[in-house]
Structure 1
Amino acid sequence: MKNVPLADVDHVDRVVLPIGTDYPPGHVLDWHEHRRAQFLYGATGVMVVDTADGTWTVPPERAVLIPAATRHRVRMLGVSTRSLYIEPDAVPWWPATCTVVDVPPLLRELLLAAVEFEPDYSLSGREAVIAALLLHEISERAPLPFHVGIPASADLARLCRAYLAAPDAGVTNADWAAGTHMSERAFTRRFRVETGESPAVWRARARLLAAVPLLRTASVSEVGGRLGYASPAAFTAAFTRAFGMPPSRFAAAGAGGTHRAPLRRAGR
């Protein structure tokens, strides 16, 4: 299925519904949720997924797992997606929060094959096997750290979302504290309680996430300079520490990253 609204086929009695969709540059899927869990793969471009709890940046050739009934918003930057909408009971191992994962060649080819299915594809033979194998492959994927948490408090959440929209290395804790009419010490303590990290650490990670879409059209040197790094080497070192791979990797949309435990439950 391609360019078909989920609402038109959600009733179909299939555990896995594959849908491919092409989006114009900069398209925003405003806040919504699905009854099914979603595996959202960007065959091209970069996606930014927001929930009440955080923001996930999905580089090219990666995907994000979105839990069922999770309210979310997606910004598409030159994206053609291949999605799987999955009955929640079929994937008890699905993560409880959005999770970015890599998409190796086998999984990519299975996704490309699946979006050619009809909604009521056969429950026996090749199509059924591909649908089942997709779930096995997804369960083996390793989480990647392309996200930042969003505080629960409305005032802190506004600060964080505004910073994500326009990251500025010159912003200080004192600036943020003044915006909430708190002392710097009280503000920093409150921010750490709600996010688990200091405001400065959070902003540094947010700037690195902002680099991912910028790297689609600008060099490592240009992106590092725009985000306030003193040199390309400093930017590359910080990016690599945060994400386990250098920023140059994203210009080629290569796969890779450090190994982490798979998503599936032990013993599955």
Structure 2
Amino acid sequence: MNHRVPPHRHRRSQLLYAATGVMLVGTEAGRWIVPPERAVWIPAGMQHEVNSLVHVSTRSIYVEQGVDAALPADCRVLGISPLLRQLLLETADLPLPYRKGSRTDLVFSLIVEEIRRAPVLPLDIPFPADARLAARCRAYLAQPSPHETIDDWCADLAWSRRTFTRRFRAETGISFAEWRRQAAIFAALPRIAAGESITTIAFDLGYESASAFATMFRRVTGVAPSRYLAPG
């Protein structure tokens, strides 16, 4: 069953770990998808919402600002090492509050170090700062259309093709074609998690076959759609 936590923010930074299931995290800057046994890092004060898909079980820790200047300043999905996974599970039984130098303190200090070292996974889709362009991106992400072209977007925004491509890359860091592929993956993943047919999803997103969609998916993510939501 899906569960949505409406937009909110925390005084401290948050590491939200998906032990099972899949989460979708949204901010004004973009969207992140969190497969099982990965985590999302959300900096202190950042407004965000969380949509949990398919029997999600989570662990969450909060880190005070100033604990480590090397901790990320942006939202990102992190790969979780076996050590960090065990440390996160261990926190459920740790006594709070705790003394400096105690075992609990050492566990949390090691967690912070592991967060610093965790690999960043390419599981985000950025939104531009321009309000009209961002609104267009959100609308497309909510209901991807396989028939829309770059010229349709240009006409809606009353921009030339050259202006559109230049501004889109400047504000998102990727090309429109790359963004569209990411959007297709984001649209597909909740449906894959719900057990829908890859063939049906591929056709709905405008691909000629399941194999064509799988090829694109593998090129972007490195794995086949059927394997992407497997525990890491």
Q: Same fold (TM over 0.5)?
A: yes
Q: What is the Cα deviation at residue 182 of structure 1?
A: 2.9
- Going by fraction, where is helix more abundant, 1 or 2? 2
SS of the counterpart of 1:241? helix
**Secondary structure at 2:21's aligned position in 1?**
strand
- 1:44 is the counterpart of 2:20: yes
User: Is the CA contact (8 Å cut-off) linking 1:59 and 1:213 kept in structure 2?
Assistant: no
Matches within 5 A, 1:57-68: 57-68=33-44
1:83 counterpart = 2:60: yes
| Larger deviation, residues 84-93 vs 228-237 | 228-237
- CA gap of 1:120–1:163, structure 2 versus 1, over 3 A, is same
Question: 2:66 & 2:78 partners in 1: Cα distance?
Answer: 21
RMSD of the alignment, in Å? 2.1
Compared CA separation, residues 218 and 121, structure 1 to 2 (3 A): farther
Whether the 8 Å CA contact 2:2–2:52 is kept in 1: the answer is yes
Matched residues in 1 for 2:119 and 2:175: separation?
A: 26
Distance 2:191 2:93 in 1: 32
- Could you say what secondary structure the match of 1:88 adopts? coil
| CA displacement at 1:198 relative to structure 2 | 3.0
Sequence identity (%) = 45
1:160 aligns with 2:137: yes
Decide whether the 8 Å contact of 2:84 with 2:111 is kept in 1: yes
User: 1:179, CA displacement in angstroms?
Assistant: 1.9
3-state SS of paired residue (1:119) = coil
Q: Which residue of structure 1 lines up, in the alignment, with residue 211 of structure 2? A: 233
Measured in 2, the distance between the counterparts of 1:119 and 1:171 equals 54
CA distance 1:105–1:222, change in 2 (3 Å): farther
- Whether the 8 Å CA contact 1:40–1:65 is kept in 2: the answer is yes
Displacement of 1:123? 4.7
Structure 1 unpaired stretches of 5+: 1-24, 256-268
Supply the distance in 2 between the matched residues of 1:102 and 1:219 (Cα, whole angstroms). 27
Q: Secondary structure at the match of 1:115?
A: helix
Indicate conservation of the 8 Å contact 1:144/1:243, yes or no: no
Residues 146, 204 of structure 2: 8 Å contact kept:
no
Q: Is residue 130 of structure 1 aligned with residue 102 of structure 2?
A: no
Give 1:122 shift: 5.3
Taking the aligned partners of 2:186 and 2:166, their CA distance within structure 1 comes to 24
Deviation at 1:156, TM superposition (A): 0.5
Paired residues, number: 230
Q: 1:222 & 1:146 partners in 2: Cα distance? A: 23
- CA deviation string 1:203-249 (max 9, x = no partner): 12111122222221224333333322222222222112212222221
Moved beyond 4 Å, runs of 4+: 121-125
Which of residues 222, 241, 245 is equivalent to 2:223? 245
Preserved contact between residue 172 and residue 200 of structure 1 (Cα < 8 Å): no
Rounded Cα–Cα distance in structure 1 between residues aligned with 2:32 and 2:81: 19
Look up the match of 1:197: 174
Q: TM-score, normalised by structure 2?
A: 0.88
Secondary structure of 1:176's aligned partner: helix
Secondary structure of 2:74's counterpart equals coil
1:113 and 2:90 are equivalent in the alignment:
yes
Moved more, 97-106 or 37-46: 97-106
Q: Deviations over 1:140-199 (max 9, x none)?
A: 210100111101011111111111112222211122122223344433333233223332
- Counterparts of 1:107 and 1:228, CA distance in 2: 40
TM-score (norm 1): 0.78
